[in-house]
Amino acid sequence: MGYEGWCRKCPKCPNCKGTGVIQDKYRGRKPAPVVGASAAIPASSTNADVMRRSNRLPADIVAKMETFGQFEFDPAGSQVDPGYVWTQLVAPLLPAAQADSAGFLRELAAAVLPAGGWAVYGGSRLVKELLSGDLDDPSYHAMMSAALDFLRELGVPNLRLNGYEWQFWTEHKGRTEPWLASRPRPHNSALTALGEREERRIAQLESGESNEIYVRRVPSGGVEAIIEGRRSDEDPTRVRWDWKKALSLYELYCDVAETLQVPSFWCHPELEPFFPYPRPKISWLPRRHG
């Protein structure tokens, strides 16, 4: 599944990062949605102007889509300014996309498909920013397919897909292929037992003051995982909420690792073997060892 519907009960997602408050990735710089192509085209434009514009992309469109793709995948980690993304990468392409969507998709696909990588991922994401509804278009399908293959090559788990990406995958290659080949679970070998009053820190999700996961024994029997993190982006007060419970530490580690899918910024050495996938091969994602 994608991230949609995860808020508050998950340890982290790109929408709320566990706070339950969905963030505006453009930080208020994105105007209200444009209804119809004419609203995005200056009144002084002639039909010929519109057609010329719809058949022309910026000369640096590949570089722009690489930047946009990295921002879309990880707005914070990419360190790309949200205002720049909207004003320089997205908004200038609205008139062309809405004036001739099929032509725009053909030209965008012709530019980003040979480049691949973050450029084709950015192109697939840009389309959904500019055009609404279901896009049954071969150029869009080609970009989506190439973008998802790129994420698989990086080892990105399906947890990082949004709803329409996961739907596209399940309706196409997902019928016959797994998203990623998972690692086998470790044997139910001896784990260090929790002390009577011990609260063991087993994961820190990101660098800085991010959410942390602790495990502890339950007086009535079994063990539980709790999350500690900021109350919200505006309120730095650290709060805790219950997350998962299990009869044994082994079962709890299996559940936690299966939910996170890949090792977090930091994880306890005894938890690391339980993750079904290795960490994605993305250079800007920080990692702390030990």
Report how many domains make up the chain.
2
The pTM (predicted TM-score) of the whole model is 0.73
- Tell me what pLDDT residue 268 has: 96
- Tell me what pLDDT residue 166 has: 95
Domain-embedded: residue 167? yes
Cβ pair 14, 77 in contact under 8 A: no
- Tell me what pLDDT residue 56 has: 72
**Do 148 and 192 have their domain in common?**
no
- Tell me what pLDDT residue 163 has: 92
Q: What is the dihedral of CA 148, 154, 157, 161, to 10 degrees?
A: -40
**Do 73 and 130 have their domain in common?**
yes
**Do 132 and 248 have their domain in common?**
no
- Tell me what pLDDT residue 30 has: 53
Cβ pair 227, 18 in contact under 8 A: yes
Domain-embedded: residue 16? no
Cβ pair 205, 263 in contact under 8 A: no
**Do 186 and 162 have their domain in common?**
no
Mean pLDDT by 10 residues, the chain (290 residues): 36 44 49 36 39 66 96 87 93 92 95 97 95 87 97 93 94 93 85 93 90 96 95 90 96 96 94 94 59
**Do 142 and 53 have their domain in common?**
yes
Q: What is the pLDDT of residues 114-169, one digit of tens each?
A: 999 999 999 999 999 999 877 889 999 999 999 999 999 999 999 899 999 999 99
CA–CA gap between residue 4 and residue 38 (Å, rounded): 32
Range of the domain at 126: 37-175
